[in-house]
Amino acid sequence: MSSTRLRTLPIIFALVCAFLLTACSLGITSSKSTPVSISTPTTAATTQATTAATTAATQSTAVVTTAPTTGAAINATTTTAGASATTTTANASAGSTPATSLISAPVSASGQPLSVAQINQKARPAVVQVTNNQKAQGKFGASNGVAIPTGVGTGFIFDKRGYILTNNHVVEGASSLTVATTDNKTFDAKIIGTYPQGDLAVIQITENGDLPTVTLGDSGKLQVGDPVVAIGNALALQGGPTVTSGVVSALGRVAQEPGSGSNSASGPFLVDLIQTDAAINPGNSGGPLLNAAGQVVGINTLGSTQAQGINFSISINSAKPVADALIAGQPVPRPFVGVTTGSLNPQQDAQLKLPANTGVGIASVQPGTAADKAGLKTDDIIIKFDGQTVQGEEGFVGLLLSHKPGDTVTFTILRNGQQQDLKVTLGQAPKQ
């Protein structure tokens, strides 16, 4: 199955879709991908350039590989607005107020879950449309300096200072950003910081009055079967966000997003994903996934193209530390090994007398990295990570990202048929 992140999909009357998403490395570069289709709703695009309130979106699609906890790989595609790489703006935060913390709110005054309508009423005012504007190219490819809308996605205001959380692929390549609220106000937004490796970004708007905000929940409290609601600008339809509902289908999923550009075969791995059957359509990317209390528990990012009811959101517990670091102008802590890896195929597992879907092979080691210092070599096969069996590349990434830079871990490897343990002190991933 393959998966795409869609900002735009073709629909009758005015919508065109082209998909684009950035690829980033986390110290591991995938040398292969395994199919299953997942679509990432990024931004919805419209072609009605004559209507002032409607933005045209163009995007591009890339292939994403998602691995469910069962070990089956899923191939997915992603949409983003714009082909150029997003730049990170350091510390554009004003004021000394700390960023919003994860908090728990009562489900309702009576202790009963809110209805979908009540959840929408509670969160909707803080849900925004994010339009990615890029400079148009002239006849011979050079920019003519005119910024035009190229993609539309979603975000949500989570802090009274006007901070908005969204996906990186929603803002990637933008020369400027336009944010529209549900009460028909528009703002110029600035990028505070982007984190391509985790497909997250924080942008900011400034308003003299009081801005509505969402409440951030605790995704760690979710259970499979819990009801959830997704809100976003599906297909960039006029008239405000679209609301869909469903349940938590699974927790702790791992997905690899597609690379961007002809030279990038694969994109970043996303971990700790929430799987839901709530519809996540093109244009929903960056929008909130809400629990029964109307609290944000996820950021809608991927949607299935080849299956029904398989969609993914980045957990808010994963996103919150990233947002805090971006607002503070600090590097986002992300462990880095410095190897290019690939999963073993069934024949290789059989030759090595390993169970199916076990281990990752090292295709290359970057000089001076944690892997190089630990003595890892090309053609080594990593079969265990701190005593836990490595179940393919997705499993390896999931284990790696459960640690932080500076942690020392043990890799059990096979080298020339001999098993040995190597201590690896994880580094910090380089800035993308």
Q: Considering the domain boundaries, does residue 102 fall inside one?
A: no
Predicted pLDDT of residue 248: 97
Q: How confident is the model at residue 108 (pLDDT cuts 50, 70, 90)?
A: low
Q: Considering the domain boundaries, does residue 29 fall inside one?
A: yes
User: CATH no. for residue 249?
Assistant: 2.40.10.120
Kindly tell me if the per-residue pLDDT of 20 is higher than 80: no
Q: For 6, list phi and psi in degrees, rounded to 5.
A: -110, 125
Kindly tell me if the per-residue pLDDT of 252 is higher than 70: yes
Same domain, 252 and 352: no
Q: Considering the domain boundaries, does residue 134 fall inside one?
A: yes
Predicted pLDDT of residue 52: 35
Same domain, 193 and 236: yes
- Residue ending a domain, choose from 330, 351, 374: 330
Same domain, 279 and 388: no
pLDDT, tens digit, 9 for 90 and up, residues 135-174: 876 666 556 667 788 889 999 999 999 999 999 999 998 8
- Please tell me the distance from the alpha carbon of residue 65 to that of residue 31, in angstroms, as a whole number: 12
Asked which of 128-142, 199-213, 338-352 is least confident by mean pLDDT, the reply is: 128-142
Predicted pLDDT of residue 140: 60
Asked which of 37-51, 278-292, 353-367 is least confident by mean pLDDT, the reply is: 37-51
Among the listed residues 2, 260, 266, 285, the single catalytic one is: 285
Domain range for 385 is 335-428
For the chain, report the end-to-end CA distance as a whole number of angstroms: 29
Same domain, 296 and 354: no
Predicted pLDDT of residue 410: 96
- Please tell me the distance from the alpha carbon of residue 129 to that of residue 156, in angstroms, as a whole number: 9
Q: Which amino acid is present at 321? A: P
Same domain, 400 and 287: no
Quick check: is 199 catalytic? yes
Question: HSE of 318 in the Cβ direction (CA atoms, 13 Å)?
Answer: 27
Predicted pLDDT of residue 17: 33
Among the listed residues 3, 30, 33, 199, the single catalytic one is: 199
Predicted pLDDT of residue 62: 30
Quick check: is 169 catalytic? yes
Best-predicted range by mean pLDDT (53-57, 64-68, 328-332, 427-431): 328-332
Q: Considering the domain boundaries, does residue 170 fall inside one?
A: yes
Same domain, 216 and 345: no
Q: What are 332's two structure tokens? A: 């986002």
Same domain, 204 and 340: no
Predicted pLDDT of residue 141: 57
> How many structural domains compose the chain?
2
Same domain, 127 and 195: yes
Percent of the chain topping pLDDT 70: 70
pLDDT, tens digit, 9 for 90 and up, residues 379-397: 999 999 999 999 988 889 9
Same domain, 79 and 202: yes
Kindly tell me if the per-residue pLDDT of 419 is higher than 80: yes
Predicted pLDDT of residue 430: 86
The arithmetic mean of pLDDT across residues 98-125, rounded, is 69
Q: Considering the domain boundaries, does residue 85 fall inside one?
A: yes
Same domain, 121 and 165: yes
Q: For 139, list phi and psi in degrees, rounded to 5.
A: -60, -35
Kindly tell me if the per-residue pLDDT of 365 is higher than 80: yes
Mean residue pLDDT across the chain: 76
The arithmetic mean of pLDDT across residues 63-91, rounded, is 33
Q: Considering the domain boundaries, does residue 224 fall inside one?
A: yes
Q: How confident is the model at residue 356 (pLDDT cuts 50, 70, 90)?
A: confident
Pairing of strands 242-256, 335-336: unpaired
User: CATH no. for residue 361?
Assistant: 2.30.42.10
* pTM, entire model: 0.72
Q: How confident is the model at residue 329 (pLDDT cuts 50, 70, 90)?
A: very high
Same domain, 131 and 195: yes
Q: Considering the domain boundaries, does residue 292 fall inside one?
A: yes
- Residue ending a domain, choose from 301, 330, 359: 330
Among the listed residues 159, 169, 260, 313, the single catalytic one is: 169
Predicted pLDDT of residue 143: 60
Predicted pLDDT of residue 77: 37
Asked which of 96-100, 223-227, 254-258 is least confident by mean pLDDT, the reply is: 96-100
- Residue ending a domain, choose from 279, 306, 330: 330
Choice between 81 and 128, residue whose per-residue pLDDT is larger: 128
The arithmetic mean of pLDDT across residues 350-365, rounded, is 90
Q: Considering the domain boundaries, does residue 26 fall inside one?
A: yes
Q: In 72-126, where do the E strands start and end?
A: 74-81
Q: Which residues contact 256 (CB under 8 A, 6 or more apart)?
A: 30, 33, 64, 65, 66, 67, 76, 266, 267, 268, 269, 270, 393, 394, 397
Same domain, 140 and 264: yes
Kindly tell me if the per-residue pLDDT of 296 is higher than 80: yes
